[in-house]
Structure 1
């Protein structure tokens, strides 16, 4: 839109320059035409005066020749020749009269145009200036809507742009992602309610980054730094709409409410093909959290302990029934 306005403005500016440049030549041409018309009018007046002086003489001679033809003094052919001469003179006189009339009309029009020429040029230039002024207002209005200064809430590294040049965006639309230069990278994990009770700050976490398959690039260590104790509902919350996170209800088998756990990776990069690749904001990942440590023998007898607890519960239930 604004490019079109600038093109229109430049076209009007060129038109104004051309109008100013051609004004003098047009006025000179108009003056020359006016003078030529005056010369034509003077010539037609001179011809009319000449014809008016000749016409009575030719008319009188024609009348005498008519009388002489009756008396057979001259022939009919001579009378016809004189009549033709008289008709030619009258025709030329009428042409001169018509030319004088046309010259009078043309002189009036040219005189009017020449008298108002400067004012007409000034009006044309003023109209062009008004059009340019209106376009300037439109450009200023568009510039005001086109350029909006958006200040970042913090300093850091711009990692991604979510919009393109010229795209219209609504209020509160994210435009870019900034990773603060001095802050550690943080990962957001979403944990089901049946596992959140075992997670504590400082617990080690094994991170698997989706862009870097762990079978090829390995696992990366991190630590739990924050646990959000307020649950997030299954639907309508931000955990299932944030960029870079899959819907836990669809991919992880989570049900009900979930809790957000913040993990700080030990490194802000991934080693891939001998190079360090910076972790970008929005990178999808999955993780394993080490909830507790046990001896090998404790893992071995854990099923037996569970069976013993179940038997004891059943016996207590039966005894209570007998007492009743």
Structure 2
């Protein structure tokens, strides 16, 4: 359906070049993730950003694993009518994330932004830093609450219980120290580890990243030998954070990021676990492999200069 809401002009690498992440490389050639400058927190019952239905809006990319976490948590908690959402085009040129009409994404019906950068500039005039997703926007203050992805999914999962689906607790108080400890390791070696493999600028940095990545995957494979989820029969924030990387592993990270010692499907327990989660609508129903492949293969010219999106691999996520 045609909309009157403005959208960005089509992707044009000739006119706008490639998007450049503003982050330094480590002295050993290691990839360094840029910091998130906006770190407001949602709180139930008060504070600068109180939890209220209809007040907040998510800007996400279905391609981005960091944003996908928030999409999954929102769906698991049944917050679709409480926190609204817009999806950006998975392909970005030098202008960064943009709103265009297309399958699985569309215009920004809330603010009429054509580029996500406009949300950053509206919050901090003259903003010249990295523009990332997810972004949590506040209708009241007309600005960004947070672009710090770990905080956003935790706040969605814990501060909207008044309007959330009953019985869903992704961050139970009795498990929080253990969840935090596992999340810290998984982030460093798996979630961010695949990027440290793909964007390493020296053999030493790549070797260190790929070694720790597969050491953690081996430990997780063993952990899941006798349990359904990372913490037994309780689905938690830790599962959400691990799963978004597993979902992209064979489709992208094995080839594009050279994380290729073993595929996900070569880990029987992790592959069973990943397929089990995929059957939950909040996971499988929010996963768009077209967006994922188009983004990674189309917007990292140093890794894929011709931007050719591969046809495979053929992976049966619906296998028993």
Same fold (TM over 0.5): no
Q: Tell me the TM-score normalised to structure 2 length.
A: 0.21
Larger Rg: 1
| Bigger strand fraction | 1
The structure, 1 or 2, with the larger RCO (C-alpha pairs under 8 Å, 6+ apart) is 2
